[in-house]
Structure 1
Amino acid sequence: MRRLIKPTVYLLAATSVLVLLAAVWYFQLFTRLGLHWAAWQHAEARQQDSLWLPGYRVVQQARPIEGVADVSALTWDAERRILLAVTNKPAAVLELSRYGALLRQIPLTGISDPEAIEYLSPGRFIISDERSQTLVKVRIDASTQALDVRDAPRLALGIGLNGNKGFEGLAYDPARQKLFVAKERDPMRVYAVQGFPPPDSGVAQLSIREMTELNQALVVRDLSSLHFDSRTQHLLAVSDESRLVLEIDLDGTLLGSLSLLPGQHGLKRGVPQAEGMTMDEQGVLYLVSEPNLFYRFVPQGAED
């Protein structure tokens, strides 16, 4: 009997170790511990010169956006003070309230796989076609009833084309007229694009470069959305697979993180598949998750 017990004990011990290692890998526990340590070590300084994501709390979570599915991307229209997202089944631009209510859908033609949308200035936006890695300049305002972008200004980048792992995120720095483009994975990269969209008059020189220092700071498995914060000059990046939002400066310093796991920042359940993220001028962070869930986070000390 004793001879049977030992192999069983060894098997249980080995199984427990494998389960522990799988949990460490799946939840990136060492990465998360490193982020928590860095946040604690530099808390006083970074609360002053960053958005301080560790202090954010969720005030609205997992609200279904009625009547839509497969929602992707999110951007803040600073002029009309609404949110815009895209969906590709069917292709459409969605307009949402600050609280996740669907205001209207705008049918979209001329793009086969819309995946990201970014506000540039009043009425001007960029939409990305993920599979073809094409950026398209569009105009959207309160009078827009439908979007046909077949003849719209566009830029085909075609960097490492590999099907459904293309351009997942866009962010825009209005002061420098610089567009940040995120490639989801294989390889995961952020690029800076200047000279597109072209100005309404004149010609701009096109420049595309890889953000090498910033890319080295991306301690996540994939990228699903970006946001550039003009106040701090920092970039936010969200990872669906890693369940994390990161704040990074343009020199590649990792400044803070927001976990999308259950129990973190007031989340009752984890965010299942984060696909879009943006902020408004008050620092309120909005996030959407497939299939159609809406979240709102507020900074430390802010009222709901």
Structure 2
Amino acid sequence: MRRLLSFNPWLYILLFLLLVGAVLGQQYRLFERAWFVVQEWRHGGEWRERSLWLGDYRVVIDAKPIGDISDVSALTYDPDRASLFSVTNKPARVIELSLDGQLKRSIDLQGFGDPEAIEYVAPGTYVIADEREQRLVKVRIDDATRVLDAADFQQLSLGIGAGGNKGFEGLAYDAKNQRLLVAKERDPVRIFEVLGFPHVDAGKPLALQVNTDPKRDARLFVRDLSSLDFDSATGHLLALSDESRLVIELNAAGKPVSTLSLLAGQHGLRRGVPQAEGVATDDAGNLYLISEPNLFYLFRKAAD
């Protein structure tokens, strides 16, 4: 009896380590991520044929500085201009980039509190997300645009959850179904589906609908969301997480099917991506990534 009640420091250390492991596993979604690795191994051959299959991507342009700018956030591909667009918030600007990461021009933003995302929706038409005010603004950009004033454009405010700097972080647009997908950064991670904005047909009444998919969001084994991208060829959604150093590909049912790690040594990266903020794909399947303060990445699928 005395032996059973005697103090055993190793037992307490083991219990402490198990407790810490459980907390970290829950915090970093390690258990869900490990289960996905098992599923990916089991179904890889089947999923690969019907997806982008991010595991096959390798970096082609690695951490290229983008001109004299900082605080880049979000990324979208414009097929009409064959350009990429991003936003900065200090100062508030839209920037246009070439497909190899060259700065082509910048456009001043007025009346935007904290622009965090931009998304191409139609020729010359984009949506900008203002994080702190949880506001979406439809803007027009052409060759002559040098300034965009939020007061001049159609807007939609969504008072979902608390404000602050954990609001809207990413946008993606499904043109076929006219769905605008809006990512809430964290606490909790959410992806909202907005139907009816931007209002594209002035001849029809505004019919606004906001949907959520809690089951899909629960499958996102990431700590935060930084950016979204919708791939029209597959109907799949890409979700970028800075804190988890990961891009996840979700199929049409909202289930993860492939991932791209942003850690050093993965997919040819010399160093880990420091603070991933934007992801976009083009019509050829190339994947573009930007990271604060002003780093540009291009990934291409490796030849079979």
Match of 2:213 in 1: 211
Residues 1:291 and 2:300 aligned together:
no
8 Å CA contact 1:213, 1:251 repeated in 2 = no
Cα distance in 2 for partners of 1:9, 1:210 equals 47
Alignment of 1:171-182 (within 5 A): 171-182=172-183
Deviation at residue 44 of structure 1 after TM alignment: 1.1
In the other structure, the counterpart of 1:269 is 271
SS at match of 2:266: coil
1:182, 1:225 within 8 Å by CA — same for their partners in 2? Answer: yes
For residues 59-138 of structure 1, the aligned pairs below 5 Å read: 59-138=60-139
Q: Distance in 1 between matches of 2:193 and 2:238?
A: 14
Corresponding residue of 2:3: none
Distance verdict in 2 for CA 1:17–1:201, change over 3 Å: closer
Residue-pair matches, total: 296
Is the deviation greater in 83-92 or in 42-51?
42-51
Per-residue deviation at 1:216?
1.9
Residue identity opposite 2:278 in structure 1: G
Aligned partners of 1:213, 1:177: CA distance in 2, in Å? 22
State the distance in 1 between where 2:262 and 2:142 align.
33
Letter in 2 for 1:175: K
Tell me if the contact between 2:228 and 2:279 (Cα under 8 Å) persists in the aligned partners.
yes
CA contact (8 A) 1:73 1:225 kept: yes
Letter in 1 for 2:93: A
Structure 2 residue aligned with 1:4: none
- Alignment check: 8 A CA contact 1:111 1:150 kept: no
| 2:247 partner SS | strand
Of stretches 206-215 and 176-185 in structure 1, the one that deviates more from structure 2 is: 206-215
DSSP-derived class of the 1:49 partner? coil
Note the residue ranges of structure 1 that are not aligned, 5 or more in a row: 1-6
Give the corresponding residue for 2:148: 147
C-alpha distance in structure 2 between counterparts of 1:191 and 1:133, whole Å: 12
- Gaps spanning 5+ residues in structure 2: where? 1-7
Amino acid at match of 1:77: D
State whether residues 216 and 252 of structure 1, in contact with CA within 8 Å, keep that contact through their aligned partners in structure 2. Answer: no
Q: CA deviation at 1:261?
A: 0.8
Q: Partner letter of residue 196 of structure 1? A: F
Where in structure 1 do 4 or more consecutive aligned residues deviate above 6 Å?
7-27
SS of the equivalent of 1:37 reads helix
Q: How many angstroms does 1:212 deviate by?
A: 2.4
User: What is the alpha-carbon distance in structure 2 between the residues aligned to residue 75 and residue 210 of structure 1?
Assistant: 23
1:193–1:206 contact (8 Å) kept in structure 2: yes
Q: Matched residues in 2 for 1:288 and 1:276: separation?
A: 5
* CA apart distance, 1:211: 2.2
The aligned counterpart of 2:233 is 231
Shift of 1:66: 1.6
Give the TM-score, by structure 1 length: 0.90
Sort the Cα spacing of 1:160 and 1:19 in 2 relative to 1 into closer, same or farther, 3 A: closer
Distance in 2 (CA, whole Å) between partners of 1:59 and 1:12 is: 46
Q: CA deviation at 1:64?
A: 0.9
Read off the aligned partner of 1:97 and give its amino acid letter: S
Contact 1:87 1:115 in 2 (8 A): yes
Deviation at 1:33, TM superposition (A): 3.4
Aligned counterpart, 1:165: 166
Task: Judge conservation of contact 1:131–1:161 (CA < 8 Å) in 2.
Answer: no
Task: Give the match for residue 56 of structure 1.
Answer: 57
Mean Cα deviation higher: 55-64 or 30-39: 30-39
Task: Give the Å deviation of 1:11.
Answer: 11
Q: What percentage of aligned pairs have identical amino acids?
A: 53
Residue 39 of structure 1 contacts residue 54 of structure 1 at CA under 8 Å; is this kept in 2? no
Which amino acid is 2:123 matched to? P
- The one-letter code sitting in structure 1 at the alignment partner of 2:215 is E
C-alpha deviation, 1:161, in angstroms: 2.2
TM-score relative to the length of structure 2? 0.90
Match of 1:265, SS? helix
What SS does the aligned partner of 1:42 have?
A: helix
Report the 3-state secondary structure (helix = DSSP H, G, I; strand = E; otherwise coil) of the residue aligned with 1:76.
strand
CA RMSD of aligned residues (A): 2.3
* 1:214 shift after superposition: 1.8
Residues of 2 paired with 1:216 and 1:21: CA distance?
18
Give how far 1:252 is off. Answer: 2.3
User: How far did 1:15 drift?
Assistant: 10
Alpha carbons 2:29, 2:221 under 8 Å: kept = no
Does the 8 A contact of 2:116 with 2:168 survive in 1? yes
| Change in CA separation of 1:143 and 1:40 when aligned onto 2, cut-off 3 Å | same
2-side partners of 1:73 and 1:286: how far apart? 11
